[in-house]
Amino acid sequence: MNERVEHDSMGEITVDADKLWGAQTERSRRNFVVGKGHERMPRELVSAIALIKEASALANRELLPEKMTEEKCSAICKVAEEIRAGKLDEHFPLVVFQTGSGTQTNMNVNEVIANKANADCGKKLLHPNDDVNLSQSSNDVVPSAIRVAGATAIADSLFPALEEMIVELTRLEKENEGIIKCGRTHFQDATPIAFSQEISGWRASIEKDRKLLLMTLPDLSELALGGTAVGTGLNAPEGFDQLVAEKVADLSGLPFTSAKNKFHALTSLDEIVFAHGALKALAADLWKIANDVRFLASGPRAGLGEISIPENEPGSSIMPGKVNPTQCEALSMVACQVMGNDTTIAMAASQGNFELNVFLPVVALNFLQSIRLLSEAITSFCDHCLSGLVANKEKMKENLEKSLMTVTALVPIIGYEKAAKIAQLARAENKTLREACLTLGYLTEEEFDKNFHPEEMV
């Protein structure tokens, strides 16, 4: 295997000749093998760091033109854009479980940009620390990158998925107007409800979750950039924090701003905890909807059977013809994962010791995974389940007619205790409510028929 020699402040080390990373990346690659097969630094985070490098180069070009020449700025921006486009993914090998500041991933990006730019121009133009990392520290770059990656993923992936689900539920709500069914509380029969009303509850939950997520974005969009190592802004020119935030906003198309207190921004992750709390709320609602759908579709003959959902694949290796609510199960597992991620993020956020939180990589992993999984699972659930959901009207009517809780309509006429006796007799002797009421003599046939209208109880 062809190798080349790279060096850093600790000395020389060999690197595969076809790789663009440098000495610090190579040391991390060798020293941290935990999760090497799967838990690599999220690509979204690497892309966000590259965006920050581009924004920093542009800000430095204005504030420190003697150090950040036009040639250097253009070279940094060109490679950063290649990284953001996914063209250099193979050159980011590091795992999540490394230094808690994410320093080695910040250096991985610095080294790839420097080496690629130097190779492109055929000379030693850029130094990873002196040029690509100018006016920055890993300590302000990585927490800022988590916010950039998270806010971008919410805006670009999660919100479109939520909008698709809201549209799908609105369609189902309109299509099922006028269908009355048995309501259920405590898994027991309750008073009637319109199926469209039940669906409207699902829709409103998703709309509320979208609103809660929108509330998180202003605080999530405050960046630590300009704080450098401990929040003092050492080695960054005056005004860098404001200008680089403006550049990040321009490049991303999102309203990022400079955090007012950099000491807070470097050590606290409360905005991310808050934002992930909204993701957890969404996960809880999605799990509820998935459960409702799978229970309503249970059967097809020995369950509720009030709706039909698409039959996407065989459900059993032994039972011929069995089909399962697999999209509901996938969505529920994602919700479960998000709730676990929330615990990890909350515990990690509590480790802001002195001037820095050193659990940043695991926060990035869990935060970005939650957004990605929710976005993908919602889209899958809409496309492969909700799009083909159909009400079984006859089954809903049958179950409604069997329900004893429609006796609630008689409470204003005969009182709670007499109505309860009607329900108890009907259940004990397998009578209809009408038969039980007449047997007990509480109402005449005419009085019962006048006051008992389950379809009007919604």
User: Which residue among the candidates 186, 298, 384, 387 is catalytic per the annotation?
Assistant: 186
CB atoms within 10 A of CB 417: 8
Q: Is the dihedral of CA 423, 411, 450, 400 positive or negative?
A: negative
320: left (phi over 0), alpha (psi -120 to 50) or beta: beta
* Phi and psi angles of residue 124, each rounded to the nearest 5 degrees, phi first: -85, 80
CB atoms within 10 A of CB 215: 13
What is the residue whose two structure tokens read 């609630």?
408
Structure token pair of residue 391: 């009400």
* Gap between the terminal Cα atoms of the chain: 74
Please name the amino acid found at residue 321: G
User: Which residue among the candidates 316, 380, 384, 403 is catalytic per the annotation?
Assistant: 316
316 is known as an active-site residue: yes
* Residues identified as active-site: 186, 316
